[in-house]
Amino acid sequence: MKKYTLLSILCCAFFWLSAQTPQVDTTLEVVPLDETVIAVTRSSMAKRAVAQQVRVLRLSEIEAANAQSSADLLLNTGQVFVQKSQQGGGSPVLRGFEASRVLIVVDGVRMNNAIYRAGHLQNIITMDNAALDRAELLFGPASTVYGSDALGGAICFYTKNPRFATGDEKVKLRGNAFFRYGSINQEKTTHADFNIGGKKIASLSSFTFSDFGDLRMGENSGLEGV
């Protein structure tokens, strides 16, 4: 009798503890999202479904690079060669092509076309990398989408979007500013941007001033006596 009583008590205690400690699944389910690109088809498309080589620079990468210019930002990827005639600028080269054979697009607007000169073209200097939200590099011919002037590829820049007021906010005010000095080429850069947004209307103003020293030729160029 004692054995049966002890067994009954143990069974009741076990069921009581089980009821007091509900089983909770604490496993986090991670769902990877496909990275999308727009440069290839001018519409959102999964990167893994694109046949051509595409390099995407997200905002986190752009900020971490802290490049002096948009040309240096491309150069730091290790996949784009940049010819420089002066500090702060550069002529990007994709698959051996540059200038009028590499298309530069900012928010869907062409920065160059086939009538531009075929030599070194420094017009990327007009693109402020501090105002960039994303960049997509399309390597190889993109004439199907952009025309024959994209023979070497296309470089598509996307600027930051203004932020609207959300929730109980009536107006969203936001600003950023920084100053940078580079001793390697006497770079002095000042940037400031200001966002003001309502429920239906918002604007983002970005201002950057840069000044660089001279681009000097190396001592062993072989042109010392010229």
Could you report the per-residue pLDDT of 207-217, keeping only the tens digit for each? 999 999 887 77
* SS3 call for 121: coil
Domain assignment of residue 27, yes or no: no
CA distances in angstroms from 219 to 84, 139, 226, listed in the order given: 17, 35, 13
103 and 192 fall within a common domain: no
pLDDT for 208 equals 94
Between CA 66 and CA 57 the distance in angstroms is 13
Domain assignment of residue 66, yes or no: yes
- Look at residues 46, 38, 68 and name the one whose alpha carbon lies nearest to residue 154: 38
197 and 145 fall within a common domain: no
pLDDT for 111 equals 84
Dihedral angle over CA of 17, 18, 22, 25, nearest 10: 120
Whether the predicted pLDDT of 146 surpasses 60 = yes
Whether the predicted pLDDT of 21 surpasses 60 = no
Residues 55/79, Cβ–Cβ less than 8 Å: yes
44 and 154 fall within a common domain: yes
Domain count, the chain: 2
Global model pTM greater than 0.75: no
Amino acid at 186: Q
104 and 203 fall within a common domain: no
Domain assignment of residue 31, yes or no: no
Number of other CB atoms surrounding residue 94 within 10 Å: 25
Q: Among 30-34, 58-62, 145-149, 173-177, whose mean pLDDT is lowest?
A: 30-34
The encoded tokens of residue 60 equal 């986190």
Between CA 127 and CA 174 the distance in angstroms is 22
71 and 113 fall within a common domain: yes
| Mean pLDDT, rounded, for 216-223 | 68
- Look at residues 48, 46, 88 and name the one whose alpha carbon lies nearest to residue 210: 88
Residue given tokens 């400690």 in the structure block:
21
| Mean pLDDT, rounded, for 116-140 | 86
Residues 124/104, Cβ–Cβ less than 8 Å: yes
Q: Which of residues 187 and 145 earns the better pLDDT score?
A: 187
Report the percent of the chain where pLDDT is more than 70. 72
Confidence label for 55 from pLDDT (cuts 50, 70 and 90):
confident
| Mean pLDDT, rounded, for 145-154 | 78
pLDDT for 7 equals 47
pLDDT for 6 equals 47
- Backbone angle region of 52, left / alpha / beta, with phi > 0 → left and psi within -120 to 50 → alpha: beta
- Give the DSSP letter of residue 166: -
pLDDT for 164 equals 93
Whether the predicted pLDDT of 226 surpasses 90 = no
How far the first Cα of the chain sits from its last, in Å, is 115
- The domain of 114 spans 36-159
Residue given tokens 């959300």 in the structure block:
166
Between CA 171 and CA 81 the distance in angstroms is 44
* H-helix segments, the chain: 2-20, 59-65, 70-75, 143-146
Residues 81/90, Cβ–Cβ less than 8 Å: no
155 and 177 fall within a common domain: no
Domain assignment of residue 107, yes or no: yes
Confidence label for 27 from pLDDT (cuts 50, 70 and 90):
low
Domain assignment of residue 197, yes or no: yes
| Mean pLDDT, rounded, for 198-210 | 93
